[in-house]
Amino acid sequence: MLFNSPEFLFLFLPAACLLFYCARRLSPATQLVTIIGLSLFFYGYWRIEYLPVLIFSLTSNCVIAHMINRSRTEATRKAWFILGVTVALSFLGFYKYTHFIMENLSLVFGFDYTGTPGEIPIGISFYTFTAIAFLSDIHTRRITEYTVTEYGATITYFPHLVAGPILFHHDTMPQLRDPDGIRLDWNKIMLFLFFFSLGLLKKTGLADNVAKIADPIFAQVANGGIPDPGQAWRAALGYSFQLYYDFSGYSDMAIGLGCLFGIRVPVNFYSPYKSRNITEFWQRWHVSLGYFLRTYLYIPLGGNRKGRTRTLINLFIVFFLCGIWHGAGWTFVAWGAMHGAAMIVHRLFASTVSLPKNRATTMAATLFTFLFVVFAWVLFRADSFHTASVIMQSMVGLSADRLHNLPNNNVEIYLGLLMLVTWLMPNTIQIMQRFSPAILHGRAVEWPFVHCIPTSLKEGTLFGYATGAFTAAALVTGAIFMFVNGQVRYLYFDF
């Protein structure tokens, strides 16, 4: 079930909200059981055959967490923890990487392999990492007490279940422990409408439409075509903004749903294309994944505590694995390696060169970071190294050919407007930050033009009227595009 679908918006969501808040009249525990049941229904509605995979993951990790807690020695606790991580990653690896591994083994050892990649259980990467984070917090005693319903509600919570953000039990469980249960109020409804409406508009009105610019070019190149530089940049920028608004839209809708049900989720998207360097980019893009990799991989590897060389190696390992997490393909591995290398270069550069802190330097650094990210997205999007190579070569002017039968009506103007919106407008968290709509794992950044906005428009009655009107316009426009474009999957469903 997609967030951008009529059955979710007009059937499931009202029914889920009614059942969840009616359950509070029975007990807070009943509310948690209700959210688990609703989430399992939401997941099973998509593909019922993958529901047992989620339930097995949920059950096995709960049992192993219980065994970790019961263990009396650190060696036994560690053994159970390793077993839990192994089981979780084995399921993820089986469904996501079996075809990729077999295909490459057949090339190395020369045996025939005729298998085809199967469909990956939706959301398996996200709920697997949520489970691993839980096991790690139990192992390190960051979490010492929990109930099965608290654990289950966090893992299955449907706003995050199929495309993130990754949830962390040490953030979520305190929200579930109100002795009076979770109550509905007008602030929650207001925040839900704002975030969900803006997210719906980003997805259906921006991401799904800009895809019509990028997809035909990538498709023609995959079939042997060669674009000219302008077409190559259209493809690269088009996909960059498609992915940006697709992911940002889903993240906003997840935040809105978290507000509606009173269980806030982490901020997963914080204007990443405004980043001044690649390190800052990964503090703003897929924030929950960055937090997971830093907390549960980079720091256990030694972080920056074992000297410069080890720090750089750790950084590369983290982003190499980040590439593999995103997809079973060598293009994803290469994309992760590109970002790992960029992190190393930035770390070395920042430690040896001190740039002047002024507006011109900031703008140049932001543009350079953006161009690197766009260039790398070509590798991320392409179906093969050949497709990526052809587009990248054309982007740097090494092509004299041209594709035909492409949409050309005002493409550059549309991409230019998207770029201005992305760079100049505040993000949704910055607009609503005083209401604490989500959990921010990182530093809040003030919108640079905030001082240009009259105080009356930033707070009070006028702020309410302005955001209300904007929310209504976004909801109506997003819903219209939802019916016009149909139900288009989120890109991160495939990761």
Question: What are the C-alpha distances in Å from 207 to residues 215, 392, 405, 440?
Answer: 12, 22, 21, 24
For residue 116, with 0-12 CB atoms within 10 Å meaning exposed, 13-18 middle and 19 or more buried, which class applies? Answer: exposed
Number of H helices, E strands in the chain: 23, 0
CA-based nearest residue to 129, from 176, 100, 163: 163
Query: Which tokens is 77 given?
Result: 């606790």
- Total residues found in the chain within this entry: 495
Q: What is the largest CA-CA distance in the chain?
A: 71
Whether 164 contacts 126, CB under 8 Å: yes
Residue with tokens 């209300």: 468
Q: Is 326 a catalytic residue?
A: yes
Residue with tokens 């901020």: 267
Distance, CA of 298 to CA of 311 (rounded, Å) = 9
Task: Choose, from 169, 326, 339, 346, the residue flagged as catalytic.
Answer: 326
Q: Tell me how many degrees the CA angle 124-127-132 measures, rounded to the nearest 5.
A: 115
Q: What positions carry a catalytic annotation?
A: 326
